[in-house]
């Protein structure tokens, strides 16, 4: 890491491209699922699209590039419009992280498929090196979004899922403490010793997930 950016500056174009795709698919998954379940709020706001401009939060993207942590525009959801509010709210919320898990698996599947078809046999060293770099960032970013968003702390998707099972009084107390919870969470992210002992171990789960995907694909190919 250099003094200005969280990532190597020469890799920024690739990283920004992957982030735009990962964020856009994540938010699209929320919006599309809500729309299919009967809530057209996000649809009417133009969020059922893969266009990054509809989902991009410029401050969130800047933080991601500078600090390794960022966000996109949250998708508006009105759970009262669902036939089964609890179940459908959980599915709408889970759709985002799951979409990033699928993005990781699909790209890894394509790499295995092309390799099995001997497409890379005559590729140059530079091409293979760049492909490896792209693959590492693609898998790391999408798996990080999958894991990170499942942390049960507001305002992350993981909390929205857990919230469906909490008593109303508990929800109200958490809402009242929202600012303090967010502040504490940001400290966990931006203070290295705290991050290394909390968020860090969770992010390390990317390795066994990636390895698990690789084992499955090795069995197929």
Residues in the chain: 221
d(CA 89, CA 163): 10
d(CA 195, CA 201): 9
27 given a catalytic annotation:
yes
Residue 165, both tokens: 């099972």
State how far Cα 37 lies from the chain centre. 22
Q: Which residue in the list 27, 45, 163, 164 is annotated as catalytic?
A: 27
Sequential DSSP letters for 147-164: HHHTSSSTTSHHHHHHHT
Q: Cα dist. 28→33, 146, 163, 169, 212 in Å?
A: 8, 15, 22, 32, 26
Q: Is 189 exposed, middle or buried (0-12, 13-18, 19+ CB in 10 A)?
A: middle
d(CA 90, CA 165): 10
Positions marked catalytic: 27
């Amino acid at each position: 890491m250099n003094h200005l950016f969280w990532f190597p500056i020469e890799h920024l174009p690739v990283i920004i491209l992957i982030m735009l795709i990962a964020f856009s698919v994540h938010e699209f998954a929320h919006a599309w699922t809500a729309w299919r379940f009967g809530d057209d709020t996000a649809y009417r706001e133009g969020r059922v699209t893969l266009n990054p401009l509809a989902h991009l939060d410029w401050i969130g993207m800047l933080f991601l590039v500078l600090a390794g942590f960022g966000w996109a525009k949250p998708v508006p959801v009105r759970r009262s419009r669902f036939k089964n509010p609890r179940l459908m709210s959980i599915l709408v919320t889970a759709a985002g992280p799951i979409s990033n898990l699928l993005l990781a698996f699909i790209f890894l599947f394509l790499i295995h498929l092309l390799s099995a078809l001997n497409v890379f046999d005559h590729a140059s060293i530079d091409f293979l090196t760049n492909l490896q770099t792209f693959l590492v960032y693609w898998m790391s970013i999408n798996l990080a979004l999958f894991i990170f968003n499942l942390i049960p702390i507001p305002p992350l998707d993981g909390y929205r899922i857990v919230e469906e099972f909490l008593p109303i009084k508990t929800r109200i107390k958490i809402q009242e403490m929202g600012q303090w919870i967010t502040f504490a969470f940001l400290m966990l992210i931006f203070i290295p010793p705290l991050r290394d002992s909390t968020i860090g171990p969770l992010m390390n789960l990317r390795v066994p997930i990636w390895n698990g995907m690789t084992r499955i694909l090795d069995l197929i190919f």
